[in-house]
Structure 1
Amino acid sequence: MQNIYFMDAPVGWLKIRSEDGVIVEVDHADRPKDDQDLTEVSEVIRQCVTELEEYFSGERRTFEVPIDITRSGTAFQRKVWRRLSEIPYGETISYKELALDCGGPTYSRAVANANGKNPVSIIIPCHRVIASDGSLGGYTGGVAKKSKLLKIEETGL
């Protein structure tokens, strides 16, 4: 069984990687060079693909696929990622709010950096963090993809 799969999603290609029966990476990626067969990947990757398809079609608001964020990042980054997981579908918070939740008012840059290192994009919704003035700020997949993800959650499509 393969433990990496590239999914063609409405926000472009996503690389999905599993280890030991859990998802450890969902990241924006370039188009794969070779065709893939979804039947040749692990069950947890097939579950992840199904849940992401449901999310993109507006049918899913929360994810059930098992993930593991303990295999990467620092203790502080994992704290930020756990907090990101608590942001409800269709809602946003500012980097400043996230900083206050994760350490203090001077932590905005640190939480932005942790956001950018999120290993399980979309499932851990780093796209739901915006600037205090309401602008989108940065996103590792690009601001257009962040905007599309927020639009999916706003409209359910």
Structure 2
Amino acid sequence: MERILVCMDGAHGGWEALSRSIALAGRIGAQVSVLRVLPPQLVGAAAFSEDAVKNRLELRIEAAKAEGVRIQHFVAEGGFVEEVIRFVEHDRTTLLVVEAMDGDGRGDGRSQDAESSWLQRIRHRVSCRVEVVSPKKNVNLQTHKG
């Protein structure tokens, strides 16, 4: 059975990757695991924003279960790269889905070099396939009257 892992933390987003994984799992009958990685310095410090993320994630998971997708949620504390690699090895993940930054300089301020660094470190240390999902751009369409 295919095992899909979506990993999320405050810097790496993941909502588009989660949507993509749920859709794929529904089509091929795969199991989805969602791994939220909390940095040690964040645990207990940013409870409000973490509660909002947790609530949003729980709603999305319940919706996926209602669609018949097998999905589980895990939380780890530590470094993002190390926790993702550990989970991939332990869970026998066959596909890791990560979300790329938007690439237009907006957003959370991560540079493409930083993204390339963590992504390359993960790719070189896991034996599963890795899919990088680009987030959808918010496009405001305006009607022009003329």
So what's the TM-score if we normalise by structure 2?
0.28
So what's the TM-score if we normalise by structure 1?
0.27
More strand by share: 2
Q: Which has the higher contact order (CA 8 A, sep 6+)?
A: 2
Structure ID, larger Rg: 2
